[in-house]
Amino acid sequence: MVVCVGQCGVQVSEAVWNLLREEHFISKDGVVGEESKVDHSIDTFFNESLSGEARPRTVLTDLDPTPCEVLQRGHLKNLFFEKNFVSGKQSSANVYSKGKSDGIVLMHEIQNSMRSFYESCDYLAEIICIHAASGGTGSGLTTSIMENVYDWSRHVSSTSFVLCPNEDCKVGTVAPYNAVMAINEQKELFNMVVNFDNAALYKLVTRAKTELIPTYSDLNYAIASFLSGYSSGYRFGGHICSSTDTVYTNLIPFPAMNQMIAGCELYLCSEIPQNYFRDSMNLLFDERMCMISINPKEGEAKILSHAMMYSGERNVYSLIRALHETAIPATKPQFTDFIPCHTKLLANFHGIKQPKESPFYPGSKNNLVTLINGTAINQVFNKVFDQFKLMKKHRAFFHWYTESGLAVETFDHAEEAMQSLIDIYSLKDVPGHDEEKADYSADQ
């Protein structure tokens, strides 16, 4: 099930559902093509309606009614149905606590909708939530939703696909407050958090097509192609396929270290036409792959674990061979010393689709997406946290938050929790990681 919250979530959902629809040979009206009837892959993301059409298993919600209305009038208007949308009357005005409190009036409807999707499928493998941490709705309402469905959703794997604020794209003065509150609460509410930001998405999609200026929609197709690669293992099966839980097991060494750096090779494919796997392996930890503004190899940065998910038509053995052959020092990052095998590999051999709506989308038949659990995530967290602390010191903008019911102490708690997350990702607070060991790793 995909839950999309706030303007960013709802707009990204258009790209996601358009891509998934094409991959499963479903028309814009929900009519299922013959090609899709050969297996059950369609069932992962779509429910069958009473009249036999495929309907997205999704809840699209925003306090501001406009994003949902635009989607309901757009080219996918006949794909969705009433139950997919829950919208309010007015935005949160960018305030996390307003997103949380004003969201209460929508909660009953959101819960009912999610619950009915949960009950209508044989086995709900995962809740994927798409939202922006800097928006009041994307931060506050998302937190509220996950708290409210906790009684049943704790039995279901949950992943947050979150757009982080980035100082290169000025997104609003209070974005650091919203983001720090969201990061802290959502690291507990989701099993895994996959991080993106617009500055990195922009660089990624324009790498091969510098002459065009992308729209949000083009950036959203990059997130959609990540979701497609991420989920294709359990949709289509394949030679090395796994469930979401297996991915969590291999990526998250401690519950508190569940923050992933998303990467996507798809948009770099024009740079690597020949030895596809060998060249992709060399790009694995390259910042050009990253969908968040991070360099996983910068300075002392260390990788704890990473997963590669390949979908396409190439041979699995060339992938494994390339993985062995490309352990060359120039491309290799530093790994932590206490996790000897860092890689989880998943591969399925389902060709990918090219949506016509985005001129940036490459015509490749291969999609390699990566998840990296590495200390470099602090490059983003530190920036947001510094901005948070600066404003908090002067209690700037506090009244907007306290007026909508947030206790002042919540800012102190958020600061402590964020500091502790940053410390964990600096490998200061890792269980069993004593001083001596820290010195040893620094010497390596």
Q: Which is nearer to ligand GTP, 2 or 347 (CB)?
A: 2
Among 198, 364, 366, 373, binds ligand GTP (CB under 6 A): 198
**Applying CB under 5 A, which of residues 41, 58, 91, 157 lies at the interface with Mg ion?**
91
- Applying CB under 6 A, among 160, 220, 259, 366 the residue interacting with ligand GTP is 220
Q: Which of 53/62 has CB closer to ligand GTP?
A: 62
- Segment contacting ligand GTP by CB under 6 A, of 89-97, 265-273, 305-313, 326-334: 89-97
Closer CB to ligand GTP, 182 or 301, in the complex: 182
| Maximum Cα–Cα distance across the chain | 66
Comparison of 7 and 378: residue with beta carbon closer to Mg ion:
7
Give least dist CB 370 to ligand GTP, A.
Answer: 19
Closer to ligand GTP by CB, 62 or 287: give it.
62
Nearer of residues 137 and 258 to Mg ion, judged by Cβ: 137
The sign of the torsion formed by the CA atoms of 418, 424, 428, 429 equals positive
> Please, which residue, 91 or 198, has the CB nearer to Mg ion?
91
Pick from 7, 113, 160, 358 the residue near ligand GTP by CB under 6 A.
7
Contact with ligand GTP (CB under 6 A): which of 63, 68, 372, 376?
63
62 scored as a contact of ligand GTP (CB under 6 A) = yes
Cβ at position 27, least distance to ligand GTP in Å: 24
* Binds ligand GTP by CB under 6 A, chosen from 56, 88, 103, 136: 136
3-state secondary structure the chain: CEEEEHHHHHHHHHHHHHHHHHHCCECCCCCECHHHHHCCHHHHCEEECCCCCEEECEEEEECCCHHHHHHHHCCCCCCCCHHHEEECCCCCCCCHHHHHHHCHHHHHHHHHHHHHHHHHCCCCCEEEEEEECCCHHHHHHHHHHHHHCHHHHCCCEEEEEEECCECCECCCCCHHHHHHHHHHHHHHHCCEEEEECHHHHHHHHHCCCCCCCCCHHHHHHHHHHHHHHHHHHHHHCCCECCCHHHHHHHHCCCCCCCEEEEEECHHHHHHCCCCHHHHHHHHCCCHHHECCCCCCCCCCCEEEEEEEEEECCCCHHHHHHHHHHCCCCCCCCEECCCCCCCEEEEEECCCCCCCCCCCCCCCCCCEEEEEEEEHHHHHHHHHHHHHHHHHHHCCCCHHHHHHCCCCCHHHHHHHHHHHHHHHHHCCCCCCCCCHHHHHHHHHC
Residue 393 tokens read as 């010191």
* Residue 220 interface partner, choices ligand GTP, Mg ion, none, CB cut-off 5-8 Å depending on type: ligand GTP
Q: Which is nearer to Mg ion, 92 or 259 (CB)?
A: 92
Choosing from 23, 64, 126, 287, the residue that interacts with ligand GTP (CB under 6 A) is 64
**Beta carbon of residue 238, minimum distance to ligand GTP (angstroms, whole number):** 29
Is there binding between residue 13 and Mg ion (CB under 5 A)?
Answer: no
| Cα–Cα distance measured from residue 164 to residue 236, given in angstroms and rounded to the nearest whole number | 30
Interface with ligand GTP in residues 358-377 (CB under 6 A): none
- Taking CB under 6 A as the rule, does residue 219 contact ligand GTP? yes
Applying CB under 6 A, does 92 fall inside the site for ligand GTP? yes
- Closest separation between CB of residue 220 and ligand GTP, Å? 5
Residue 163 interacts with ligand GTP (CB under 6 A): yes or no: yes
6 binds ligand GTP (CB under 6 A): yes
Instruction: Return the residue of 22, 23, 53, 64 that touches Mg ion, per CB under 5 A.
Output: 64
CB of 12 to Mg ion, least distance (A): 13
Least CB distance from residue 189 to ligand GTP, whole Å? 16
DSSP-assigned beta bridge partners for residue 348 = 311
Tokens of 93: 């005005």
Tell me the C-alpha distance between 18 and 381, whole Å.
Answer: 32
User: Which residues inside 408-427 make contact with ligand GTP, applying CB under 6 A?
Assistant: none
Shortest distance, position 213 Cβ to ligand GTP, whole Å: 14
Q: Are 110 and 203 in contact (CB under 8 A)?
A: no
Sign, Cα dihedral of 268, 275, 375, 132: positive
Q: Which residues bind ligand GTP (CB under 6 A)?
A: 6-8, 11-12, 62-64, 91-92, 94, 99, 132, 134-138, 163, 165, 169, 171, 198, 216, 219-220
